[in-house]
Structure 1
């Protein structure tokens, strides 16, 4: 299954939902497969996993440099190697995961974190790639991914504009325009006050590509607001239920909440409508309550039209009020009764 990311530059395109599994399988293949089954039934267009080999993204060393020392972090006190060993999706699960997604009619793709994992995913013929926020300055890996000419989604968390300039340049150099930038706040969970959604408009104007949202907030407000800014791709962490605690469960939605999340965004998309459609179909039934020009007094042929024999009133069956001044002083073609909607056939022009 292929998908073209460039079409999401068009605000008329329907929202596209990516369910991020991350570590929420908690080392159970059966749980991973159940997550796929459930998100496919509850609004997801794609499921994303993470492909990495722990020793390829860090060193198996336990000193102060490799220990998370942030009291605000969900992973405070953990060594990087232990964190990634716990979070990894085993390579021998991948084919089963991809097949399960295909069976459910949704796209499965992966975040790639290292060269060996990239080679592995290429052998599996992954349909698309994700570059995570923590990897968006890994330009040698990004270049390899860009050269595949496959769709690539890139999170912008923790990136300076110089980094994004370089990243986009790599894709342009390799003639791969099928990429999307996801506005991302790399806090887990992220606060609404840190969402900074105003950058979405700037990113769209600067890079001329589709812009999505990697949403780590606990509400749907950021996503609904983003719909109004033209975002049509949404990525959200998903877990099977609230019972199993994982590394990412505190900022992941359970299946029911994911359904509410996707439904609310779809409703926001419907509410936005189209630029060309000022009056909706259902609204047209209310047009009768608009004003128009009516004859307000019995008149005879050749009577002059004046403010005493015509009036701008409801309903909307007569001439548009914009013609009021134009018809004043003209003569009636024939006798007319009070309460008749005025039209041009009645007037000597």
Structure 2
């Protein structure tokens, strides 16, 4: 950063106003280093730099969502995006998921029944479950967007932290009509504090998003854009990417091993091939929302998790026996200690 921000380098540029679309060389980095290897043919004109991944979703709602519009979401789904959708007075309706992601048959039936404006999907290392949408379903969802003239909002911030399994092309790679909009983030691969994200869309959609971006905040901060662009252009990303993937793989393995060893018999959990968390379903009629308060306050446990019920828009107790367990920021030795304490606590409750 000290070298990049010198006056004779990019220091002045980093503190000035910039393009609404975003820094040109950062958009080129996205196209050439992050999208092309995933099978996506795009140009810098298809990219809008945003203030974090969530801003792209907010801008899309500003442009396309009217009060009462239907948005189809996975069951369960990412809470913060539901909050954005509800802020624009959209009606969220759930679509079934299984171990391979959103179920296309249920999606098509809901499209026909509710005529949604948008389908919101997290295809890779899904939040909260860690599941990954299969290749066949990615192709099918892209095709459904085109056939029924529905926007597919592909939220894919975890895609680039895969550390096992087969890499899969994004839904956008199979879109032939411009109905799929890809929202992504630099938070997981560069810096969460930089608040950098991007949207990939057709030029028609990008032009509409530019109007909303201009009215919202003129452009994304130049300082993190310059630092991020130089981080990639100076060749730091490949080694950094290997390092974080190795780190998260070790922590994933510690978490999975510890759940299998210490949680109650009959517990079901996912095995994510990337990302930052796994999903556990406990046996019996337990309520993880109630257990959370006790687990975090009990001096013999002192372990936090995210209760599952809040990820289901349906209500009615859906997911009440589930929990999301995050491993990204916790060293393996602490994961093992925490999972053992939590498992011992849970065995007393089921």
| TM-score in terms of structure 2 length | 0.29
Rg larger in structure: 1
Greater percentage in helix? 2
| TM-score in terms of structure 1 length | 0.29
The structure showing larger relative contact order (alpha-carbon pairs under 8 Å, at least 6 residues apart) is 2
